[in-house]
Amino acid sequence: MIYELRRYELYQHNKKAFYERFGQHFVPIAQKYGFQLIGAWDTVIGDVPETTYLLAWPDLNARQAAWAAVEADPEWAQVKKDTTAQHGPLVFKTHSQILQPTAYSPLA
């Protein structure tokens, strides 16, 4: 099992719209393609408004296939188009890391 840590720097004025799009649209669509959301967090103290979430994957191939499927999903494309038209850009910058548990990790 590998994990993907994703952090999105958000525009403060569009933070609510991002959370609505993520929770109401992205999560259900992504689950259709095998995304396993372990947790999601809102930064309470930090330099910029951001959200962080952790995904679990069986391997890199599964991750690549799932992300490709979401990006090709017509419903997700329409949601992104509609929310961007209504609110403008929601994400300033995206960070992604692929993590593998160490031998001493409870997740190993």
Q: Where are the domains of the chain?
A: 2-99
Percent of the chain surpassing pLDDT 70: 100
107 — pLDDT class (breaks 50, 70, 90): confident
> Which residues, 6+ apart, have CB-to-CB distance to 73 below 8 Å?
29, 32, 33
10-48 confidence digits (pLDDT tens): 998 999 999 999 999 999 999 999 999 999 999 999 888
pLDDT for 47 equals 87
User: What does CATH list as the number for 2-99?
Assistant: 3.30.70.100
Average pLDDT over the chain, rounded to an integer: 95
Residues 58 and 55: their CA atoms lie apart, in Å, by: 10
Short-list 89, 87, 91, CA closest to 48: 91
What pLDDT score was predicted for residue 48? 87
Packing angle between helix 74-87 and helix 60-72, nearest 10 degrees?
60
